[in-house]
Amino acid sequence: MGLEEVFKVLSKGVMVSIHSQKYLDVAKFLMIDENFDETYELLKKIGYQLNGENGYFYISKLEGMNESELNSFLNNHKNIIICIAILKQLFPYLDRGHLLSKSDFIVKVKEKDDEALDQKLAYLFNTTDAMKVTDSFFDLLEKSYVIEKRSNDSRDEHLVLSSIEYYYKIIESVA
């Protein structure tokens, strides 16, 4: 793993968590101070900032955004915060390292039978079909690097990544 490969991953907007199976090499590379500094300098030259926080790495944009970037930037944050709020309602002890499964998720949603919860899911997805909602929910969290499907496991298991703490920080600052 070298700077080029790390740059390829980060420039695609990946939020790299230290216990991600998929991006373990990238995380290991960035955990070395010299590598982090070198990548930081490189990204700074093209207008981005490399951030390394409590167990995760990501890129932020130093320059202003155009309208479409701005909308997507805001919506992305809003959607993920609603997703985590739903997860916290269903699994109050959820944190990084927690294992989630789609089957547990469906069972919990049914058990709760909560109108406010349905409202949140309806806000995120244009369907009421439980399977579709669940698939879309997990897909959104996976694409945002908050959870990761266990690659060597045939069971329906998703690992909650360290990057969830990024949203904890936002919530603490806003609420």
Partner 1 sequence: MKHIDLIKLINENKELLDRAYKQDIITNVDEALLDINLFIKIHDNYKLNQHYLNFVDSLLNRIDYTIIFGDYEKEYKELTKLKKRFIEKKSEYYKISIIKLIEKLYIKFQNRDREIRFLILRLENETSMDIDLLIESATDTLEKIYELIDASEKIGQFFRTELREIDEDIETLLQSISVQMLEFIQNIDKYIKQINHFIVQTKNRRIQNKRFMKIANKIINEDVLSFEEYILTNHKRLYFNFKATKRNLIRFYANDNDLIKLNKNLRTVFENFIIKKAVKKSVIKVQEVEKLNIIDIQKIKKDLDEKRSDDLFLFIKKHNELEAFQGNKLIEESFKVYLSLLEESNIEYLKDFNDDGIKVVSWV
Residue numbers 82-141 binding partner 1 by CB under 8 A: 82, 84-86, 88-89, 91-93, 95, 116, 119-120, 123
C-beta closer to partner 1: residue 116 or 130: 116
Q: Can residue 42 be called a binding residue for partner 1 (CB under 8 A)?
A: no
Q: Can residue 13 be called a binding residue for partner 1 (CB under 8 A)?
A: yes
- Rounded to 5 degrees, φ, ψ at 17 are -100, 150
- One-letter amino acid for residue 2 of the chain: G
* Residues with Cβ within 8 Å of residue 157, at least 6 apart in sequence: 99, 100, 101, 149, 150
Q: Can residue 51 be called a binding residue for partner 1 (CB under 8 A)?
A: yes
In angstroms, the CA 147 to CA 134 distance is 14
Q: Order of strands, edge to edge, in the sheet holding 147-149?
A: 99-100, 158-160, 147-149
Report the nearest approach of partner 1 to the CB of residue 147 (Å).
Answer: 15
Binding test (CB under 8 A) with partner 1, winner from 19, 22, 28, 77 = 77
Binding test (CB under 8 A) with partner 1, winner from 3, 31, 32, 62 = 62
In angstroms, the CA 51 to CA 56 distance is 8
In angstroms, the CA 162 to CA 21 distance is 12
> Which residues contribute to the site for partner 1 (CB under 8 A)?
4, 8, 11-13, 15, 48-49, 51, 58-62, 65-66, 68-70, 72-74, 76-78, 81-82, 84-86, 88-89, 91-93, 95, 116, 119-120, 123, 143-144, 166, 168, 170-175
